[in-house]
Structure 1
Amino acid sequence: MKPVAHLRQLEDLRWEEHLLLNHLTHVADMAAEFAAEFDNADWLRIAGSWHDLGKYNPLWQEYIRNNNGNYTEEE
């Protein structure tokens, strides 16, 4: 089971996982692009990569999967 950053319910009531690695990579890329204007892309890429590392904690993963309505992994 891959770590999840967020879950969202689609219009057809199915659930969509936003995988944590994808989320961290996307935020890191956006932060680096923003910070390039003031020559700090590397620092902001690191910050973006690390900003949600706590979500790898098994307790968070249990919480996010068990406290979102009727989410099941089979969906």
Structure 2
Amino acid sequence: MLKIKINEDVIIAGTSEFRNSINKFISILKDNKIILTNRNRPQAVLISFEEYEKIGEIIEELEDRYFFSNGFHIL
């Protein structure tokens, strides 16, 4: 399957194409998210490490807000 850019920052690519061009895909992760497919079915999403860290920080902030608003206090 050829890679397909579906919008400004998301690319769809087959697992075999990814396997054959892994270094190329890693280099474009800074500006793109990659959806890997197998037989045209989504199997995984790849994001940059920077994006992963941002998501982790957002989740942590939301958890803190949830626990604080429900009367739980983290010691």
TM-score normalised according to structure 2 size: 0.31
Relative contact order (C-alpha < 8 Å, sep 6+): which is higher? Answer: 1
Relative to its length, the structure with more helix (as a share) is 1
Relative to its length, the structure with more strand (as a share) is 2
TM-score normalised according to structure 1 size: 0.31
